[in-house]
């Protein structure tokens, strides 16, 4: 395949906050999703924890990051770090 083939589906991209960075080359990122309740129309917050591969091991708790979906890297890791949007103070 000499020519560049385009992916059929776009990979999911999420932004979130690092809540744990104690593991080696892995960080836990909390992603907040806001949805309207179907019946009561109140905005409900749902938090999902994603295990993210951090090759350089440079993330700290409180960093705001962008992650992208990838192939399974371990039992729980399915996300990869794209960039750090904001460092923790």
Q: Give dist(CA 56, CA 10) in Å, integer.
A: 25
Q: Give dist(CA 49, CA 77) in Å, integer.
A: 11
Rounded to whole angstroms, what are the CA distances from 69 to 14, 27, 73, 80?
8, 14, 11, 6
Mean pLDDT of all residues in 10-16: 96
Using one digit for the tens of pLDDT, what is the confidence trace for 66-79? Answer: 999 999 999 999 99
Show the tokens assigned to 30. 């909390």
- pTM, two decimals, is 0.85
Using one digit for the tens of pLDDT, what is the confidence trace for 34-67? Answer: 999 999 999 999 999 999 999 999 999 999 999 9
pLDDT of residue 6: 83
Structural domains of the chain in order of their starting residue, each with its CATH number = 13-86 (2.40.50.140)
* Cβ atoms 18, 87 nearer than 8 A: no
Residue 1 has pLDDT above 60, yes or no: no
pLDDT of residue 89: 87
């Amino acid at each position: 395949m000499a020519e560049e083939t385009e992916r059929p589906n776009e990979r999911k991209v999420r932004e979130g906050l690092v809540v744990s960075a104690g593991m080696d080359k892995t960080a836990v990122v909390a992603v907040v999703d806001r949805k309207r309740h179907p019946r009561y129309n109140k905005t409900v917050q749902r938090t999902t924890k994603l295990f993210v591969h951090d090759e350089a091991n440079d993330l700290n708790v409180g960093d705001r990051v962008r992650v992208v979906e990838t192939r399974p890297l371990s039992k729980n890791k399915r996300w990869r770090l794209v960039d750090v949007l904001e460092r923790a103070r």
